Every structure is written in structure tokens, then in C-alpha cells.
Amino acid sequence: MARLSNIWSLGLKELRSLRHDRAMLVLIVFAFTAAIYSAATGTPETLHRAPLAIVDEDHSPLSQRLHEAFGPPYFLPPPRIALRDVDAAMDAGRYTFVLDIPPHFERDLLGGRQPQLQLSVDATRMAQAFTGGAYVQAICEGEIAEFLQRQRVADATIDAPARLVLRNRFNPELRPSWFGAVAELINNVTMLGIVLTGAALLREREHGSIEHLLAMPLSPFEIMAAKVWSMGLVVLLGCCASLWLVVHGMIGLPLPRSTWVFVLGAALQMFAVTSMGIALGTLARSMPQMGLLLILVLLPLEMLSGASTPRESMPEAVRLLMLAAPTTHFVSLSQATLFRGAGLRVVWPQLLAIAGIGAALFALALARLRSAIGAMA
């Protein structure tokens, strides 16, 4: 009972220390608000409100139809400009795409003469240029096919022996912001769990308060457990608030009934990554060294865990190695619960894996802390 009281009191001390650390408080607020929103809405693979202009030299019903086909959310409402203004407008960077509809385009198309449209692309805007050309081509082909056949391209194959009907499950509108928000939330939870606990240990070492703890009847287990539960609780509360207010409220990801399973997984993830932060704190001698170690740890965890790149596209050796990282199982659990509504009966292997890895990391960090305290004593 006395040990639990010590752990509780030391944890409250860590929370009071964090309250006076303005830099860390700003980092926490930023990581769970602006960072997640910007990562979700600024996904580079997405074409969103790209500036496009149209040079209409045909002035036909078909050219009017093509003009009306472009608009939000992929493009801004396209203005009509003269052909002589194209070079100056693109040199000034006002438009990423300029679609030129040649004279007599509709007449030549109906006459079977296969006229061509010209699309000018500002390739210096690489994120939009790579995907925008395909969007423009698909929209033009669809509108032209519907104009010629008086029906949608998909309906033109109604007499074929077989038809491919696409149904997008779990994300019917194919919103990449949902995936980007959850991926960023997972990355920030991992990052803050490591940073806060490592910084808490280094702060005591730099301020000399670790010697005061050594003079008290406290064990390394109590010191470490206090930092784990206090810093883990802060990150977990921030994760839950961000999930409901930013990911669900602002970005619009619908939360299933099994969200509590995600919260349980996040709590176990906190147990694992805060233990990892303690271990890194014992290796580093200052915050700059801690920052260098974070680069070596966080980049593989974020890039190879499946949040940014599918694990199926990775080499077999990398996939097997990353199974020892808790973030890999947390990513799988988060996607299953938040996107597909999976319950406890589906994701219990990931929960057990995170708990087992967390226990191993806790034991390793405790051994490192005992060794470090023994050296200081």
C-alpha cells in the first residue's frame, strides 16, 4: 500500500512539473490539434481546389458541358481566358492547369475526325501536377462519352456479359483525410509518449532533483512507474480529446461503437512507448542527445509500422523485424477499430502483442534505470 501511495505522489509531482513546462504544453496542444488537422487536409496525393482555367475556342454545347464539369472539391470554379493570356497567366502562377478547347471541336467530334484537347500543366507544382492530369483526362473523357452516347460510360457496358461494380466499404467517399488524420494521431501519440517520459527523467537529472529521490526510501520501480502513469495519462487524455474534437468533429470521421477498444489499445501503447522513453532517457545525457536518439527511433516506427506505407510492400525481413515494435500492432488495431468497426474479438491478438512488448520494454527500461541510478549513487 505504501508503494502505491509513493507512485501516486510521485506521479502528481510529474504532473505539476509538466504544468509549468510551457514548451511541452504547447507541443502537446499543437500535436493533437493543428498537426493532425494539417496532416489530414494537406495530404499531398490529393487534388483539392486546384486552379484551372479554360480557353473556349469552340463555344458549343459540348464546350459548355466541359466547363461545367470542373469545380469543387477537386478544382476551383474555372474562369474562361483568352488564348493570348495563357502564357502570362501560367508564368505568373495563377493557374496550375489550362484546358484549351479548339475551334469546331464538337463538329469534328460528331464527324468522327478525332479532335484533340490541349492541357497545359505547371509541373513546378508537383503534388497537383502528377495527379491533376489524370483527373482532367478522366473528367473530359466521361463528359465526352456521355455527350456522344447520351448515357454514362458505366452504363454503356450494360449489354456486356459481365460488369464490374465497385463498392467502397468503410470509406464510401474515398476521403484521404480520414486516413491521414488517424495516421497522424498514431504518430503523435507515439512521439509524445516517448518525449514526455524521456524529458521528465532528463529534467530531474539536469535540475539535480534525482539526487533528492535517491535520498528517499524510493525504489527505481516506483520512480519509473510514476513517470509512466502520469505522462501516459496526459497523452491518453489528449488522444481521446483529439479523436472526438478534431478527427470526428472537424474532419468528419464517423466513430464506431468499438471506439473504446481503440482507447484500450492506446492505453497499452502508452505503457509501451513511455517505457521506451525511460530507456532512451537513461541512454541520453542531455536533451540534445535525446533529440538525436528520437530521430533514430521515431522515423522507423512511423515509416515502417504500416501507418504511412502498407506493410505488404515492404521486404519480408523488415516486416518480421517490425513485429517487435508496438506501433506496428497499434496501427493495425487502430485501422481495424476506427475504420472497420472491429470489436475486441477481432483485435485481441494486437492487444496481447502490445501488452507483451510493453512488458518487455518496461523490464528493459527498469533495468537501465537501476543501472543508471546505481552509477549516480
Span of 241-250, 267-276, 278-287, 323-332 with lowest mean pLDDT? 278-287
Q: What is the pLDDT of residue 153?
A: 44
DSSP 243: I
Condensed to tens digits (0 to 9), the pLDDT of residues 19-49 reads: 888 888 999 999 999 999 888 876 555 677 8
Pick the CATH number of 52-157 from 1.10.3330.10, 3.50.50.60, 1.10.760.10, 3.40.1710.10: 3.40.1710.10
Give the pLDDT band (50/70/90) at residue 261: very high
Q: What is the mean pLDDT of the chain?
A: 84
Q: Write out pLDDT tens, residues 173-203.
A: 667 778 888 889 999 999 999 999 988 888 7
Task: Give percent above pLDDT 90 in the chain.
Answer: 30
97 near 121, Cβ under 8 Å?
yes
Q: What is the pLDDT of residue 164?
A: 56
Distance CA 31, CA 188 (A): 6
Rounded to the nearest 10 degrees, the angle between the axes of helix 220-242 and helix 22-32 is 40
Check residue 155 and give its pLDDT.
Answer: 47
Handedness of CA 30, 32, 37, 43 (dihedral sign): positive
- Compute the average pLDDT of residues 130-140: 85
Residue 17 is predicted with a pLDDT of: 84
Is residue 279 predicted with pLDDT exceeding 50? yes
Confidence of residue 286 (pLDDT cuts 50, 70, 90): confident
Ordered by start, the domain boundaries in the chain are 2-41+173-376, 52-157
Residue 215: per-residue pLDDT: 65
pLDDT of residue 44: 54
In tens, the pLDDT along 200-250 reads: 888 777 666 666 666 677 788 888 888 899 999 999 999 999 999 999 999
Mean pLDDT of all residues in 97-123: 88
pLDDT digits (tens, 9 = 90+) for 298-353: 888 888 888 777 787 788 898 899 999 999 999 999 989 998 888 899 999 999 99
User: When comparing pLDDT for 254 and 44, which is higher?
Assistant: 254
CA distance 287 to 281: 9
Residue 151 has pLDDT above 60, yes or no: no
Cα 85 to Cα 78, 129, 132, 368, distances in angstroms: 15, 20, 21, 68
Q: Which of these, 15, 25, 2, lies nearest to 230 by C-alpha position?
A: 15
User: Which residues of the chain form beta strands (DSSP E)?
Assistant: 52-56, 97-101, 118-121
How many whole angstroms separate alpha carbon 20 and alpha carbon 53?
53
Q: Is the pLDDT of residue 369 over 60?
A: yes
In this prediction, residue 125 has a pLDDT band, given cuts at 50, 70 and 90, of: confident
Q: Tell whether omega for the bond before 73 is within 30 degrees of 0, i.e. cis.
A: yes
Contact 117, 101 (CB under 8 A): yes
What pLDDT sits at residue 154?
A: 41
Q: Specify whether the CB–CB gap between 97 and 136 falls below 8 A.
A: yes
Q: CB of 31 within 8 A of CB of 191?
A: yes
Question: What are φ and ψ of residue 216, in 5° steps?
Answer: -95, 160
